């Protein structure tokens, strides 16, 4: 697995995009599959890798680590797709098993008073729009870009 120096800043936490294919583009869209991990791991999680969890919420949701309190983790890959109207990008998740085969779902944001803000996998919500910066170009600035 090849690392890239591209990070997404989300709530002032650095994310690292790990390409599972050897591609040299700064922003890798389309068929490039990704592992997404936080730079720092919380003490309560076994890892900082993003996973999609089914159960305990109305839609599959994004968690970190391995198993999440006995709920099932959906196998699949994250990808980046271009949003032309936004001139930015969105994250999608492509389950290994889907109907129709090969269907990817938007990662969106959902807020409720009980659970707060959560990233979820759903076609029913507006996609979470993101902008990427090369951290080497912005070292020391610590700005949020989402």
Q: Which architecture does CATH list for 2-138?
A: Trefoil (2.80)
User: What average pLDDT does range 40-47 have in this prediction?
Assistant: 74
User: What average pLDDT does range 33-56 have in this prediction?
Assistant: 79
Q: Is it the case that residue 7 has pLDDT exceeding 50?
A: no
User: What average pLDDT does range 13-30 have in this prediction?
Assistant: 56
Residues 32, 48, 136, 131: is their CA dihedral positive or negative?
A: positive
Q: CB–CB of 82/89 below 8 Å?
A: yes
* Higher pLDDT among residues 46 and 77, named by residue: 77
- The 10s digit of each residue's pLDDT in 117-139 is 888 998 888 888 887 766 665 55
Question: What ranges do the domains of the chain cover?
Answer: 2-138
User: What average pLDDT does range 26-47 have in this prediction?
Assistant: 70
* Higher pLDDT among residues 66 and 1, named by residue: 66
- What length is written for the chain? 146
Quick one: pLDDT at residue 138?
52
Candidate from 2-16, 23-37, 49-63, 101-115 with smallest mean pLDDT: 2-16
Residue 114 CB-density burial (10 A; 0-12 exposed, 13-18 middle, 19+ buried): exposed
Residue 25 is encoded by which pair of tokens? Answer: 């583009």
What is the C-alpha separation between 86 and 59, in angstroms, rounded?
25
Helix (H) or strand (E) holding 105: strand 105-112
Closest CA to 124 of 139, 143, 110: 110
Quick one: pLDDT at residue 93?
92
User: What average pLDDT does range 28-38 have in this prediction?
Assistant: 69
Q: How many CA atoms lie within 13 A of 35 on its CB side?
A: 15
- The 10s digit of each residue's pLDDT in 67-80 is 667 778 888 888 88
């Amino acid at each position: 697995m090849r690392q890239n120096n591209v990070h997404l800043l989300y709530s002032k936490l650095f994310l690292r995009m790990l390409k599972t294919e050897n591609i040299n583009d700064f922003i890798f869209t389309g068929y490039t599959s990704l592992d997404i991990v936080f730079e720092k791991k919380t003490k309560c999680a076994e890892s900082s890798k993003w996973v999609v969890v089914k159960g305990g919420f109305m839609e599959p949701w994004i968690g970190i680590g391995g198993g999440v309190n006995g709920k099932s983790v959906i196998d699949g890959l994250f990808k980046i797709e271009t949003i032309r109207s936004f001139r930015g990008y969105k994250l999608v998740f492509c389950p290994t098993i889907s109907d129709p085969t090969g269907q990817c779902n938007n990662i969106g944001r959902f807020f409720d008073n009980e659970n707060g803000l959560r990233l979820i996998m759903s076609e029913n919500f507006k996609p979470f729009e993101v902008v990427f910066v090369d951290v080497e170009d912005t070292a020391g600035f610590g700005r949020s870009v989402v």
